[in-house]
Structure 1
Amino acid sequence: MMWKDFFYYSRNEQKGIVVLLIIVAIVIVVRIILPFLVLNPQISEDQKQFLSQIDKINLSLSEKEIRHDSLFFFDPNTVSKLDMKMLGFSSYQINSLLGYRSKVGQLSSINDLQKVYGVDSVFINKYKAFIHFDEVKIRQEQKDIEDDIVWINFNKVADDFWYTNVESNEIRDTIIGLLHLNYIAKSLPNYKVKEFTDEKLLLWLRQHSKVKYQKQNFNSQIELNSANASALKEVRGIGEVLSKRILKYGNLLGGYTEVKQLQEVYGVTEELYNKICSSFTVDAEQIHKIDLINTKISEVCKHPYFNYKQTVELKNLMRKGVDIFEDQELVFENISDEEWNKMKMYLKSDSLNLNIQ
């Protein structure tokens, strides 16, 4: 019927229909073969190799496995477990370093790092160029430790100290009033002050307080270990800054054993010392002495007169039963006679009577 209808059109209409059908046919054919002509161009061998390399790179980027041979700068105190794996640490080394950090504390040098189990010379040679330590953080932590170990001479502290360490207004006022009329014969480490309750601290101060001497005349001497900043500043030549240095150094020492130790304070020149030395005297009973056997090496080394090697040598001798105070033939490896004469003034001689394990 369709073709029969075709012949009912005029000749021009028939030509138009035929042309239209031809165009439609051409469009269909082109649509079918065009993708093959465009998407499948001829590719050279060089292009194939380049595409192959790109595929390999994409594949490596998509892999989730961590490379175990990466080297980058790291701080042994903060490096994470994941970063240690990337650096190539063994599981044993990772666990050792994490354990050391949690139990011992911060590492400050390569020597400290070598104390970690599993860290040998091969390890150090491989990573030495990439290891750095956050010195600012380490110094701050060391300062915090030193501040806690410093012995507090209650006769020298300002009223601000009590506002910081005593919460009760009533007890604080009582303590300040107690110190105006008495001096405290003993000292406490700063960390112990922080541990005490207000009531316990007041009780301790009362137990170790003694009535002050009557105000001395202009020509009398000042007892160096019980003097506060105000008393020191009464001496001509000693101002605000120098008085604080004298008090701070005295706290580090545990008390002055003799007046000439003032020469060790920064800022006290020979000329100044000769002018002020006659203004002072020293009460040796107020000196804090170190129980060498029962005190950690790190704490002993905070004292200005003791370094690590000297402390280890003394502790080893005492553990062997050597009487370091009475043995006239004893010769130290790391301590000169002059140094020993200073050091022994700050050591408890009765430490030898302890049961040494």
Structure 2
Amino acid sequence: MWRDFLYFPKQQKLGLLILAILIVALLAANIFIDDNHPLTHPEENEETIETQYQQFLASLAEKENLVKQKRNKNTTPFLFQKDKLFPFDPNRADSNTLTTLGMPRWMINNLLRYREKGGYFKDKNDFKKLYGLTTENYNTLLPYLIITPKEKKVKSFPSLIDSSTIDTTAQRPHPIKFNKVVLINLNQADTTTLKKIPGIGSYIAKRIIDYRNRLGGYYDINQLKEIHLKADSLKQWFIINQQDIHKMNINKAGLNRLRAHPYINFYQAKAIVEYKKRKGEITTLKVFSLYEEFTPEDFERLSHYICYQ
């Protein structure tokens, strides 16, 4: 009778055999894995975690230093280099002009924002209010500051005069003009003086002064032809003192400073900079006589604006 309990059909025997083989295989695999991959000791886990934690703290400290450097970048002290400076009007100079002067980007942004909000530098002393400008840098820029008087906007009101009964033309103010020829120093005259010359208004006066600032000064009355003015008609009104010309030290001026001058184009400026890198200081412009970028006319014009020390 007990044999009936131990009797298994052929298919069940085959299934039990396969099950037994699988169990043995799993046990063998488990033993093999244990032998080749021993458990990690807790001490090793703690060391790994501590190392990773220290690396994380180091990365945080590095990022914090980068943030501090970025914040301190705007407050890094700097000084204007006199060899890069030239006359400019802080009320009208654009960002390219200010960059050429060596002004840092954050200070340029401060100046432009001040002007966008309606700010205007009424005189040279007023320029001190520019945020971030130190007293030392202000004193360096002072000789190069040009402050153009702000044109006042006169508010107009409706006239209460009956123009049909009264001639109002005689009551209109007329600009003051010279009634005879007066000699004026072209390199020192301001817009108010220039507008007293018959035929010169605000627009022409501004063109004359703006071009004078870009050049550094006039050495010949015929240079006014370069801004499309009739120099022959104006010749009788002007005298020129070449000692008033602001000369540029060619050995200290960089690429941007050279390019800012009306008589030096990009390729000429690049040739000058590359020559200084290869051969050192320049003592005469004749070293460029064989360069195709320069002409004899260029040498003659630049001789009035270049110095070597």
With normalisation by structure 1, the TM-score equals 0.39
Indicate the structure whose relative CO is greater, using CA pairs within 8 Å and at least 6 residues apart.
Answer: 2
With normalisation by structure 2, the TM-score equals 0.44
